[in-house]
Each structure stands twice: as C-alpha cells, then as structure tokens.
A and B are shown apart, each in its own frame.
Chain A
Amino acid sequence: MADSALPTAPVPQLAQSVRDRSGVRRRLRYYGEKLGGSLVSLFAVILTSFFLFRIIPGDPVRTMTHGRPVSIEQQEQLRREFGLDKPLAEQFWSYLTGVLRLDFGDSFQFNRPVTDLIGERLWPTVLLVGTSVVISAALGLWLGVRGAWNHGSLSDRVNTGVALTLWSVPSFWLGLILIVIFASGAGWFPTSGMESTAVEGWERIPDVAHHMVLPLVTLVAVVYAQYLMIMRSSLLDEMGSDYIVTARAKGLRDLIVRRRHAVPNALLPTVTLIFVNLGFVVFGAVLVETIFSWPGLGQLFYSGLSVPDLPLVQGLFILFSAAVILMNLLADLLYPILDPRVRP
C-alpha cells in the first residue's frame, strides 16, 4: 500500500545534514542573484544618468546654461570646474566614485552639496509618500476584496467605476481643484507648505497633519485604484479555484473562507505590485509636492528642472531610480516568505 512516490526513509543524520547544506547554498544563491541583479541595475542607472546628461546634448555647459547669457570665459570656467576637459573614461570614473561616496556635486541654484539638499528634503517626502502608500494600499485592498466578493453588484460596479475615473485624473489637476474648493475656497486647509511658522513643540504634529490632508488625498486618490483593480481581479481568480470549494465544503463560513483562504492567496501578486509601486510613488510625489509647495524631494526636483540644475536633477534621478530598485529587491526578498512555493 506504500505510495511509490513516498520518499524512502533517509539514513537520518547524514542525509539530513546534506539536505540542509544544499538548501542553504540554494538560498544563498537565490539571494545573491537578486542582490547582484539589483547592483547591475543600479550601475546601469548611474551609467544612464552620466551619459544622458553629458553626452546627448553635445555640450553639457550649454545645457546647464540653457537660454541664459553666459560669457565664453564663464563657460570655460564651468568646463574646468566639472572636469569636462578630461577624457570621458576619467570623467566617468570620478563621477562613479563620487556617486558611490554619495557625492553628487554642488547644486547650481543653491550653491550647496546636492547630498545636503536631499538630506533636508528626504523626510517630508518619506512622511507624505509613506502615509499615502499605507492609506491607499489599505483602501485599495479593502475595496478590492469587497468588490471581488460581491462582484457584479451595484456597489462593486460603482467602486470600479469611481476607481477607473480617478485613475484617469491627472494628479496635479486634482490637487489644484482641491485647493480651489477646500483651501482658497472654504478655507478649511492651508493652500501650501508643511507647517505654519508660529507653531512650536508638540503642536507641530497636528499642524503638519493639517497641512498634509490635501496632498495626501490627492496622492491616495490617483494611486489606490491600481491596488483595487489588482486585488479584485486576483481575488476573483482565487475564488474560482478548487481549494475554495474545499474550504466551503468543510463547513466554514464565507467570511472565514475569504479571510483564511482566498485573501492570503490573492495577496501574493498584489504585494509585489505594492512594493514596485512604492518606488514609483516617490516620483509621483513630484507633481503633488509642487502643487502644494510641500518641501520634499519632488519639489526639489521640479525646481532643479526649471533651471536646469544639472547636478541636482542627476542626483535625484539616481535616487528615485535607486528607490525603485530597492523596492523591487525587497519584493523579491519578501515574496518567498509569503509564498512557500517559491521558497528557495
């Protein structure tokens, strides 16, 4: 009666330790590959940023000074300053080592190291983007689960319709409309900035929260739809599967079937998306931060673009791309924890 596919009882000690060791090696290899892939991507990004900004326009100095009257001497001066008179490989090498030391050079318009500027503006962005991702993921997943469970119902159709419409809304426009209605109109919220000047100490927390409401609503509104749609379709897929019938046949309530069986499975593809999106949302904040004068990286990027402030834009370009790469890597590392099938 023994199943022929049943593994024969192993010689306990030896076989066990051999299996463990090869398992460890496999796991190390998996993580090593993922890490290596990310490093390659990062290198490609640095390479891109170097060539994109220096080679394509032919003369970076002219790009830098785009549309402004600059004397020949000033141009020569700039060229020496940026080492543009040296061979390309040498330029790239010093650029690369600079980037690796987190040295992106000095900003033209602020006359300060880009790294310092980024350091100052990082936290407002992390606060805004982090909060918006948490809220939109929670909202999107919740609505997606409800939609799939009652799919075809009126509330599902309304929810999907609203989500698709909001997805089609340009975030900067939505921000402006919200300001017109709730800030400059009703006066309920400040029109711009992150905090009021007069406020000190613990009072700052409610003050910042007050400033954050409209930017947050804007970001959440344009982002949650994606989570909703992915969660909804992934859960619909799961609901048609056999193991859901098994779970119902066991006598479980629908609510438990959903919570314990369907949702955990449907979450798998969604989690990846959330992480990948997280990197992009950082950049999505450019528009919202600009509209609301939120003192974050996005606004910094916008101000760098309009000059154009080359070192600043370059530094942020690498930072934004690195954020996406990092989130992708995290998703790759997290996924095996959630899904035993891909556990290395």
Chain B
Amino acid sequence: MNGLVWARRRRTAARFWSQFRQNKAGVFGLVVLALFVLTALLAPVLTPDNALSVTRPPGSPLDGPSADFPLGTDRSGRSMVDMIIWGSRVSLTVGFWATFISIAFGTLFGILAGHFGGWGSSLLMRVTDWFLVMPSLVLGVALAAVLGRSLTTIIVAIGVTSWPTTARLVRAQTLAVEARPYIERARALGGGHLHVMSNHVLPNVMPIVLAQTTLMVGSAILTESTFAFLGLGDPTTASWGATIQAARDVGAVSSRMWWYILPPGIAIVLVVLAFTLVGRAIEGVLNPKLRERL
C-alpha cells in the first residue's frame, strides 16, 4: 500500500519535472536560485573571517574596484563582494521565514474556514478584507517601528501582513476540493474532519500553495530590502537593502560610487526575478490553460 503511494508520488514528481523543464525561463530562475542558495550556505567559506568586521576591515573605506576588491569597498572598508555574499543569507532567510509564517497561517486558516464554513468562514473573510485594505507595507512599517529594529521584526511584519492573501486562495481551493465527489465518499466512510482535511484537502491544496510560496518569497525579499532601506532593519546586519541605504548615507549618489550602489540592487533584482520566474513556471505546470501563455 505504502509502496504504491510512493511509486505514484514519484511518477507525479517526474511528470511535474518534465513539464517544468520545458519552461526555459523557469529553469533559468531555478539555476539562479540554486547559485544564490549555494552562495548563502557557503558564505563563511567564501569570505575571510574578518569580512564583516567594522573594526578590522580588510581594506580602506570607499575604494573603487581593484584587483583585491573587484567591486570596491564600502564605507567601513569591507569588500563589496563579501557584502553581497553575506547579504544573500539575510535576504534568503527573511524570504523563507516570512513566507513560512505567511503560508503556515494562511493554509491553516484557509483550510479551516473552507472546511467548516459558517461564521468562522465569514469572520476570516472579514479579517482578510481588513488586512487587504490596509496597505500592508504601512502596517509592516508601523509594526516594525513599535517592535523595535531587528530581522525578526521584519520577518514577523512581512509574515503577518501577507498571510491573508494565502488564506483566501487556500479557502477558495478548499471549497473547490470539498465539492468533489470522493470527499463525499470519504465522509460517508466515516472519515472525521481531521482525516478529510489532512488526507484529502491538504494534498490537493498544496500545489497551489507551492506556486504561491515561490511568488511570495520574491516579494518578501523585495519588502525586506524596502524595510531595511527605510532604516527599520537591524543596523548591524549586512542586508542588501541596508547596504543601499548605507551607500546613500555616505553620499554615494552624488559622488557616483556606482560600485557601492549597483551590485546590491542587481542582486535583489536577480533573486526576486528568479523566484518570480520559478513561481510562474510552477503555476504553468499546474494550470495548463496558463502554460501556453508564459
């Protein structure tokens, strides 16, 4: 029984991959993502021990590109290449955790509301309505302002403001799944609420959630850089957004220190674009009607 299930899952995964592979943009995004994840994991190996040190920096401040520092140095004399490498850690961490919070809450409430319906469902719709009309960035900024400046605050702020979108999507999907006849059958056979939700609804909702997740990580990273730029992040973390903010602070704009401003922005664009492309490719595989138009 279990072996059969696994064989089926493997077949499904293989089919998914063979369709995903046909989307060149999606594959490109996946490769870029893999590179960034690798960079983030290997950051301690790729950079010297004092890479992030402000007191014992490897170089002198605000130098242009040179053989030692291909992208120059920042205001403390740290190599911009190392800053970008360490920044990928921050961005990916924030992206993943914020999305995790958002997806976990969104999926939980979405499935509960869709499954049980009734006043709980209406209440959820009201609450999400309310979240959706409040510019989430404002709410996030306000949260960050009152909770103090740290990476955790940013993660919580993004997660808290983005779960309603997921919840709505999941609720709609749950309603669609529960309308299918085999759910009726599962209930008739004595399947309890928990059984129906975890064995029937969840597996069917997961694909949508997966596509949503990848798209959401991209926008969470974008939001993180915005927060960091607005000075709401932890001033000691080397996030890309914070680096851009630091560049602006030291007048890199008027003195045209392109090596200070350009690289972190390009890194953000690449990561966000990669997530977006992968997310769209997944959506395309799941929804053939969309596929032909990607």
Contacts and interface: CB of A to CB of B under 8 A. Distances in A.
A and B touch in the complex (CB under 8 A): yes
Contact of A172 (B142, B143, B226): B226
Interface string A153-181: 00000000100110111101110110110
Interface in B5-38: 25
B254 A191 contact: yes
Interface stretch (B42-50, B81-89, B181-189, B265-273): B265-273
Contacts of A282: 135
B230 A302 contact: yes
Interface string A43-76: 0110011001100110000010000000000000
A184 B254 contact: yes
Given A165-B273, A176-B248, A184-B253, A283 B146 contact: no
Given A170-B229, A170-B268, A164 B293 contact: no
A321 interface: yes
A320 interface: yes
Interface residues of A, number: 51
Contacts of B166: none
B134 A321 contact: yes
A151 B294 CA distance: 9
A250 B48 CA distance: 72
Chain B interface size, under 10 / 10 to 19 / 20 to 34 / 35 or more: 35 or more
Interface stretch (B64-72, B116-124, B198-206, B255-263): B255-263
A133 interface: no
Interface of A: 37, 41, 44-45, 48-49, 52-53, 56-57, 63, 151-152, 161, 164-165, 167-170, 172-174, 176-177, 179-180, 184-185, 191, 232-233, 236, 279-280, 282-284, 286-287, 302, 305-306, 308, 313, 317, 320-321, 324-325, 328
Interface of B: 25, 129-130, 133-135, 137-139, 141-143, 145-147, 218, 222, 225-226, 229-232, 241, 244, 247-248, 253-254, 256, 258, 261-262, 264-265, 268-269, 272-273, 276-277, 290, 292-293
Given A52-B143, A284-B137, 11 more contacts: A37-B129, A41-B130, A161-B25, A168-B272, A170-B222, A176-B247, A177-B261, A177-B262, A305-B232, A321-B135, A321-B138
